[in-house]
A and B are shown apart, each in its own frame.
Chain A
Amino acid sequence: MSEPIFQRLHPLTMAVELEKMVRQLAFAVVYLVFMLVTKQESQEVSFELLAAGLGIVLVIPAIWRYLTYGYSVTDGKLLIKSGIIRKSLRTIPLDRIQNINLKRRWLHRILGLVELEIETAAGAQAEASINALGEEQAHVLKAQLMGQVATTYTRIERGQEDLVLYKPTGMELFLVGASENRAGAMIAAVLGLSFFQPMFTNFMETQSDKVVEQAKHLPPQTGLMIALGISGFLLFGWIISIASTIIKYYGFKLTEKDGKLKRSYGLINHFENTLPVNRVQTVHIDQNFIQKWLKICKMYVATAGGMAMASGGEHQRQQQTSAHTPPLLTPVLRDEMRGRLLQASLPLYDVSQPEYHPVDKGTIWRHIRSAVIGSIFSSALVYGGMQLLVKYQPKRAAQIPAFQLQYGPYVVFFLLMLLAALSGWLYYRFTRWSETNSVIANKLGWFKTRWNYLPVGKIQLTEVMQSPAQRWFGLGTVRFHSAAPAFKITEIDDLNLELAYDLANRTHDKAGETRDALFDGF
């Protein structure tokens, strides 16, 4: 074994580190700025001193990290060392790498740097993140990680041209952005901000009081105002959705070469992901009713590594904490291209013509049976509420029509049961499953349709479940667990129990025998 020669990162790493830490301490920085702006007499703390302290806290670790960090590719392993006092050396065998991401955030692009992320099957996060390399250095390292013996940029074997699988037009990106609305996400963001920042809330309150004061002088067309406000908000969410989709996925290109899929995209932050096709665990397609009409959809693939594939600048932190972010393969896909991309991501299987079966008809009864207890409970609540009203507020109660008091609870009960029956019928009508060509596939939903594809070889565990309601009608749920953290479970609800057993038993037997099992199914 040869002695590993460790290489340093690009010196400008320090700048990137600094930016990262500022982002991590964003709250503190924003708070500080806010304090400076709204400086009050009573607060005696010297903010300049605080700022200087923060600066030192930020700068020293950045330099520290640059000086101690080193990487090396030796004997088919990637070695990464870091730390002076608490040293750590991480070893990753090259053949365990699930995917490699090249990222260029806005600062990276200004400085001409690349960040390299390496993921194995171990967890949702990237196992190694090589923060900043020069463009040339990054490509050499990537080639080495892919198993080439390249030492300089010119020696990298490039082979054939990449085969372009999909390249959406600007119009398609616009349409996919337009068929979604981010208003909900914005509300959540504002609420979250106000939750964490009491000062911000105070500020908002004083300001909104002023607005309310002014509003009192306006003519009292409140209904119209509210309607305008809501539609304005929705419109804003819509515009944000379009703009963010276009900025995030500008110049999107999905290519294929030597059994690896490559995606590159981004207007401000630029990303490049490479993933070996045989690491793909599951494939999913989403389409809401507007997209159905526009004949476009979204496609996801999941690997055993977390795959920061959905990664975009501002969602980065959220990404790292949650393993359940959908790993997008392409943000938009024309319906007629589906077959091609399905074939590219699951080349060993033919999923073009699945033989779909419906679920058991008993599911309608099961939905009704499941809803009984909840319906009785809610109508009992209504009944109790009315009794209290009659007892303590007889005057108010007298204003309500008598039949409402008398039949209210029954109406609530039957409406809820009707709703349950309707949802059961919709489930029966629109859910399909198949196991054609060793791929478990299902199709769910009517308002928003989702197709799932899970090769039997990628199944880790099968499970049959039965709730008390399902036992009444001899039904069962089959669950297939895969190793992909984002889409762990593929579920077929309400099959005949015998069939469910049989399916679970058969598929897990097959899962152990397939060629994929050689790689532990990863």
Chain B
Amino acid sequence: MGDRIDIKSWKNLEPKVQTLWRVTNGIMSLVISCLAIAPDLIIRNLGTKWPLFPFALPLIAFVVIGGLTQWIVGKSYQCYRYELGENDLGVAKGVFWKSWRFVNRNRIQHVDLTSGPVARALGLVEVSIFVGGMPTAAVVIPGLSMSEGERLRSTLVKAADVPNPMETPATSELAPPPMQQWEPPRE
């Protein structure tokens, strides 16, 4: 067994990311609760006795969803951590369903920095890291400061480390894989 990994010692995101999450979750719960307007109207117009005040459904939905998503922000901030190792990157996330991902630096294909309008106002960027064969980002680290995001990107995409696959002597070794002699199974 190797060294025990201590997730608690990994780096947290910028604290400001909580504001970002609160804002986006607020908008999202507003949009979702708007969907409840239609059933609310239908029920009230059907003529059945409706015990609650008008537009109760969307309001309840907003309070419940909004409350839950706001409550989860602090927790997920505590759980979202990352660690830049010597030649790898680890990202831990998830409050209920936890996931820890490890990417080797040699496997990184490209790195994206993105930031939306709210994130830009807060001075945050999101770093997405892509590996081969996966159409979506393998690892996403939201809410880093501009400088930290840039530092992460420049350390991760250090092309000079990786030997050029077409020019190393090992390539010629690789080309025809040595076939081992096969022996028929003994009865």
CB <8 Å contact, A521 and B175: no
CB <8 Å contact, B179 and A347: yes
B-contact bits for A226-266, CB 8 A (1 contact / 0 none): 00000000000000000000000000000010110000000
* Chain B positions 26-73 with a Cβ under 8 Å from a chain A Cβ: none
The residue from B94, B134, B166 contacting A481, defined by CB atoms under 8 A apart = B134
Interface of B is mostly: loop
Instruction: Check: B152 CB closer than 8 A to any chain A CB.
Output: no
B1 CB, min distance to chain A CBs, angstroms: 5
Give the distance in Å from the alpha carbon of A468 to the alpha carbon of B185 in the complex.
46
With contacts A502-B1, A511-B107 known, is A463 near B180, CB below 8 A?
no
CB <8 Å contact, B133 and A463: no
CB <8 Å contact, B177 and A277: yes
Complex: chain B residue closest to A514, CB-CB? B106
Complex: chain A residue closest to B105, CB-CB? A512
Instruction: Check: B170 CB closer than 8 A to any chain A CB.
Output: yes
Contacts of B103 on A, CB cut-off 8 Å? 460-461, 508
CB <8 Å contact, B176 and A259: yes
A-contact bits for B119-147, CB 8 A (1 contact / 0 none): 00000000000011110001100000000
CB <8 Å contact, B132 and A504: no
Instruction: Check: B87 CB closer than 8 A to any chain A CB.
Output: yes
Contacts between the two chains (Cβ within 8 Å), count: 131
* Chain B positions 137-187 with a Cβ under 8 Å from a chain A Cβ: 138-139, 163, 165-166, 168, 170-171, 173-180, 182, 185
Chain B: interface residue count, which band?
Answer: 35 or more
A-contact bits for B82-105, CB 8 A (1 contact / 0 none): 000001100000101111111111
Chain A: interface residue count, which band?
Answer: 35 or more
With contacts A95-B166, A508-B103, A512-B88 known, is A466 near B98, CB below 8 A?
yes
Instruction: Check: A451 CB closer than 8 A to any chain B CB.
Output: no
Give the distance in Å from the alpha carbon of A498 to the alpha carbon of B2 in the complex.
10
Contacts of A484 on B, CB cut-off 8 Å? 133
Contacts of B102 on A, CB cut-off 8 Å? 461-463, 504-505, 508
CB <8 Å contact, A518 and B168: yes
CB <8 Å contact, B134 and A460: yes
B82 CB, min distance to chain A CBs, angstroms: 14
CB <8 Å contact, A121 and B133: yes
Instruction: Check: B114 CB closer than 8 A to any chain A CB.
Output: no
Give the distance in Å from the alpha carbon of A252 to the alpha carbon of B101 in the complex.
42
Contacts of A121 on B, CB cut-off 8 Å? 132-133
The CB with the most chain A CB atoms within 10 A, among B4, B106, B173, B180, is that of B106
Which 9 A-B pairs give the minimum distances between C-beta atoms?
Answer: A483-B133, A512-B104, A259-B176, A512-B106, A460-B131, A483-B132, A466-B98, A508-B102, A464-B100
